[in-house]
Amino acid sequence: MIPDISKLLRPHLKNLKPYSSARDEFAGEAQIFMDANENPFATGYNRYPDPHQKKLKQKIASIQHVSEDQLFIGHGSDEVIDLLLRAFCVPTIDEVIIAEPTYGMYQVSARINDIKVKPVKLTASFDLDKECILSPISAHTKLIFLCSPNNPTGNILNPDTIHTLLKNFNGLVLIDEAYIDFASSPSWVTELGRYKNLVVLQTLSKAWGLAGLRLGMCFADSTIISVLNKIKLPYNISEPQQQAALKALHDVKKKEREVKKILAQRQWLTEKMNDIKIINHIYPSEANFLLVKMTDARAVYQKLLAGGIVVRDRSKVVLCQNCLRITVGTTEENEALITLLKKL
């Protein structure tokens, strides 16, 4: 089934004429800029940034082997999630399906936009159940949120089930790959040519070490990307963001070295935690964190905090009773964590 993106789009956006900024209307070389009411005295930031982030897009597109019109850059993945909801879901009428437990912003963003949420539980091993994910789909279901590797469970979702969804669902399937650099399986970006309804999210916040910068990447068919470009704020990515990201993206090797260290530390932490009595289970992880089942997660959380170590208490989250989510730190940080856990 090939969904017609123009039919999925909210009706009032079909003929929307987007805001055209001064820098949209100018193309070519100029020495004197008197078009955007900027202050002419140089501060380093007195000019508006490139609204289309051309250089940054070229760089990301070459790393990911996609064309630039298959790429949208957001102010963090969170901006992309919000824009997708605003573009495709009519408030109070349309619905999204969210496979839970997962990253909380899908649900929050949908609720902010007054869009109905149909939560679907993952299986006990945190995977997709084909029937469960297909059965709630209605004529008003526009988006299905999947996260792989999933946060907070750390596992990859079964690719066969995702292929089935992509083939049978007449809306968009969003696969959030915030943690893909830590995983052993390939990205869904390679499947973009095959599925018009596939939307892949990645971020510079995790493996790339740029959470403070706020840069998310959305890969999808050019028809979906052009919708996001149409409704985004004109200058959603600032000049310092564009510059710093470009600089970091030139050093892919640095990112790879750090990922390798984090993976080795994830293994080390797993082995050490296996010997700690208060820990009942360490779930296998394809991400830079471990989901760990304790006898009394809340008590452990409080004691770690008293010792100066903050982890994420996920014990109230569906299927995650008594679980803490622990991000892999530096060697020293991980040693401090193990020392403290051993004392509890």
Provide the token pair at 224: 């979906």
Binding ligand PLP (rule: CB under 6 A), the pick from 53, 64, 70, 77 is 77
Q: Please tell me whether residue 147 binds ligand PLP under the rule CB under 6 A.
A: yes
Task: Name residue, tokens 């083939």.
Answer: 167
Q: Which stretch binds ligand PLP (CB under 6 A): 74-82, 91-99, 257-265, 319-327?
A: 74-82
Q: How far apart are CA 124 and CA 294, in angstroms?
A: 17
Binding ligand PLP (rule: CB under 6 A), the pick from 3, 76, 234, 307 is 76
Choice between 48 and 208, CB closer to ligand PLP = 208
Task: Name residue, tokens 């929050």.
Answer: 108
Query: Interface residues for ligand PLP in 184-243 (CB under 6 A)?
Result: 203, 205, 211, 216
Choice between 155 and 205, CB closer to ligand PLP = 205
> Binding pattern to ligand PLP, positions 87-106, x when CB under 6 A?
----------------x---
Q: How far apart are CA 273 and CA 267, in angstroms?
A: 10
The packing angle between helices 239-249 and 54-64, to 10°, is 30
Taking the CB of residue 144, how many other CB atoms lie within 10 A of it?
Answer: 28
Choice between 145 and 169, CB closer to ligand PLP = 145
Q: For residue 262, give the nearest of 327, 314, 210 by alpha carbon.
A: 327
Residue 156 DSSP class: P
Choice between 77 and 236, CB closer to ligand PLP = 77
Q: How far apart are CA 236 and CA 53, in angstroms?
A: 10
Backbone phi, then psi, for 317, in 5-degree steps?
-85, 140
Q: For residue 245, give the nearest of 93, 67, 102, 49 by alpha carbon.
A: 49
Binding ligand PLP (rule: CB under 6 A), the pick from 53, 70, 109, 151 is 151
Q: How far apart are CA 117 and CA 103, in angstroms?
A: 14
Q: Which stretch binds ligand PLP (CB under 6 A): 70-78, 180-188, 255-263, 268-276?
A: 70-78
Q: Please tell me whether residue 153 binds ligand PLP under the rule CB under 6 A.
A: no
Kindly give, in sequence order, each residue whose CB lies less than 8 Å from that of residue 177, ignoring residues fewer than 6 positions away: 148, 149, 187, 188, 189, 200, 201, 202
Q: How far apart are CA 323 and CA 281, in angstroms?
A: 9
Q: Please tell me whether residue 78 binds ligand PLP under the rule CB under 6 A.
A: yes
> Binding pattern to ligand PLP, positions 305-344, x when CB under 6 A?
----------------------------------------
Q: Which stretch binds ligand PLP (CB under 6 A): 50-58, 60-68, 72-80, 318-326?
A: 72-80
Size of the site for ligand PLP (CB under 6 A): 12
For the bound state, the minimum distance from the C-beta of residue 203 to ligand PLP, rounded and expressed in Å, comes to: 3
Residues of this chain that bind ligand PLP (CB under 6 A): 76-78, 103, 147, 151, 176, 178, 203, 205, 211, 216
